[in-house]
Structure 1
Amino acid sequence: MKTFGNIIWFVFGGVLVAVEYVISSIGLMVTIVGIPFGLQSLKMAELALWPFGKKVVRSETTSGCLATLMNIIWFFIGGLPIALTHLLFGVLFCITIVGIPFGNQHFKLMKLAFTPFGRRIVDA
Structure 2
Amino acid sequence: MSIIGNLIWLIFGGIFICIEYVLAGIVMLLTIIGIPWGLQCFKLAALALWPFGREIRETQPSAGCLSTVLNIIWIFVGGIWIALTHLVFGILLAITIIGLPFANQHFKLMRLAFTPFGKEIV
TM-aligned CA deviation for residue 61 of structure 1: 5.2
Task: Give the aligned CA root-mean-square deviation in angstroms.
Answer: 1.4
**Structure 2: 5+ residue runs without aligned partners?**
none
Could you tell me which residue of structure 2 aligns to residue 93 of structure 1?
93
Point out the more displaced range, 6-15 or 18-27: 6-15
Corresponding position: 1:75 with 2:75: yes
Q: Deviations over 1:58-106 (max 9, x none)?
A: 1125422110001011111111121122112112111110000110110
Percent sequence identity is 58
Match runs of 1:29-48 below 5 Å:
29-48=29-48
Which ranges of 4 or more aligned residues in structure 1 deviate by more than 3 Å? none
**Structure 1: 5+ residue runs without aligned partners?**
none
Aligned length: 122
Q: Deviations over 1:29-81 (max 9, x none)?
A: 01100000101111210111001111211112542211000101111111112
Q: Which secondary structure does the structure 1 equivalent of 2:55 belong to?
A: strand
In the superposition, the TM-score normalised over structure 2's length comes to 0.92
